Amino acid sequence: MTAQIRIGIIGASAERGWAHDAHIPAIAASPDLVLKAVSTTRQETADLAARAFGVPAHATPDALVARDDVDLVVVTVKVPHHAELVTKALAAGKNVFCEWPLGNGVDESIALAERADAAGVRAFIGLQASSGPEFDHVRALVADGFVGEVLSSSIVASGANWGPAVMPFDAYVLDGASGAGMLEIPLGHTLDGVCACLGEIEYLVAETAQRRTRSAIVGTDRVQQITTPDQILVAARLRSGAPLSIHYRGGMSTGTNFLWEINGTKGDLSMTAAHGLGEMTPLSVRGGQAGQEQVPLATPEECFWAPGKPDGVARNVAQLYARIVADLRTGTRTAPDFHHAVRRHQVLAAITEAAVTGQRQYV
C-alpha cells in the first residue's frame, strides 16, 4: 500500500449526492487518503465532476477500475447498481468500499462477499453509524459497566423519508423493489450501531405496515407511489438475554424523532437525535446511576479518531475511513466488511419474514 491510499469514486456528482457531501470531504480531511479519479454515467457530468474535484473523471466505471493509480474503489450509487459495479471493481483486482446496503437483498450480498473472497482483496461496507463517536462512547460505557447488566433496550425513531413528502433525489427509496427502504437504510444503519454496543440478536418477531400509499415530490406537482413499509415494529431477544424493541415510522414526528434507551441493573442511558438516520446525525447521550437524574455525558475526545474531524454527514464516513486505512495498512479487521454486511442483511430479511409469517425468526 502506498503512503496515501488512492481512491476512485463511482457515482460522484459535481453538484450533490452522498459522494459529494460525505466521501469527498472525508477524504480531503485525511492525510492518509487521496482522491485520484471519479466516474459518472455521461461525459457531460464527468466533465463537470473533473472541474469540481480537480481529478480525472470518466464517463464509465470500466475506465476508473482499470486505473493503476487507484487502490480503493468506492461505490456510492443507488442500490440496484451495487452488484454490477462492485463486481467490476473486484474483477479488476481492486479493494472495494461499497455504500450500504451491499446488495439488493441477501442473495446478492452473499454472492458479492464470495466474489470478494475469491478475488483476494479487502471489501468494506458503508455501515458508518457504528463508527460514529457517540456509538463508540455508548459501547465503551456499556462495556465498562456504567449500566451494570443490560436488562432491556428500546428504540423509537422517525425515518425522515417515507412520509407525506420526499425530495426528488430521494424518491426512489419509496419503491419496495429498490432495496433502499426504511428497513434497509435508517433501521439497518442504526441497528448495526446498536448491535455494536449491545451484541447481536438471537431471535425476533416483527410487524410491518404501509399506512401511506403516496408521497408528494417536493418542488413539483407530482406524487410518488409508496410500495414499501412505513411502519416497522420489532421485538427481539439479544444473545445476552436482554429484550430489544424497535419502532421505526415514516416521515417526521412533532414529538420524538429518535430515542434509544438502555436500562440496566446499575443505571440507564438515553440517546436522542434529530431523526432516525443514525449514520448521518450526532447523538446526544445522557446517563444516570442508582436512581439519580440523568445528566449529559460528553463524548470523550478519544472517540473522535478521524483525521481532520470533518463535520456534518462527512464525520462518521471519515471515522469509517480511518478504520479502513488501518486495516489496509496493517491487516487488521476493524472496519465492517462484506461478510458483516451479509449478517446485517440476514437480520433485515428475518424481520421481513417474521412480519409476513407471524413466526419467530432465529438469526
pLDDT in tens, 167-224: 999 999 999 999 999 999 999 999 999 999 999 999 999 999 999 999 999 999 999 9
Ramachandran quadrant class, 145 (left: phi over 0; alpha: psi -120 to 50; beta: rest): left
In this predicted structure, what is the pLDDT of residue 1?
57
Query: What CATH number belongs to 130-299+345-355?
Result: 3.30.360.10
pLDDT in tens, 298-331: 999 999 999 998 999 999 999 999 999 999 999 9
Q: C-alpha 136: how far from its chain's center? A: 15
In this predicted structure, what is the pLDDT of residue 272?
98
Dihedral of alpha carbons 93, 96, 102, 104, sign: negative
Name, in order, each residue with C-beta under 8 angstroms of 83's C-beta and a sequence gap of 6 or more.
103, 104, 108, 111, 112
When pLDDT is averaged across residues 25-46 and rounded to a whole number, the result is: 96
In this predicted structure, what is the pLDDT of residue 3?
87
**Banded model confidence at residue 54, pLDDT cuts 50, 70, 90:** very high
Predicted structure pTM score: 0.95
Neighbours of 105 (CB within 10 A): 17
Decide: 363 and 354 in contact? Cβ < 8 Å.
no
Closest-CA residue to 190 (of 103, 231, 151, 132): 132
Amino acid at 4: Q
CA distance 20 to 22: 6
Decide: 138 and 197 in contact? Cβ < 8 Å.
yes
In this predicted structure, what is the pLDDT of residue 77?
96
**Banded model confidence at residue 336, pLDDT cuts 50, 70, 90:** very high
Decide: 142 and 198 in contact? Cβ < 8 Å.
yes
Q: What are phi and psi of 313, to 5 degrees?
A: -70, -15
pLDDT in tens, 103-149: 999 999 999 999 999 999 999 999 999 999 999 999 999 999 999 99
Pinpoint the residues of the chain covered by CATH 3.30.360.10: 130-299+345-355
CA distance 119 to 59: 25
Q: Which residue pairs, CB below 8 angstroms and at least 24 apart, start in 50-59?
A: 51/14, 52/14, 52/15, 53/12, 53/14, 53/24, 57/12
CATH superfamily of 5-127+314-336: NAD(P)-binding Rossmann-like Domain (3.40.50.720)
Residue 244 reports pLDDT greater than 90: yes
Pinpoint the residues of the chain covered by CATH 3.40.50.720: 5-127+314-336
Reported in sequence order, the residue ranges of 54-135 that DSSP labels E, i.e. its strands, are 57-58, 72-75, 95-99, 123-126
CA distance 259 to 331: 36
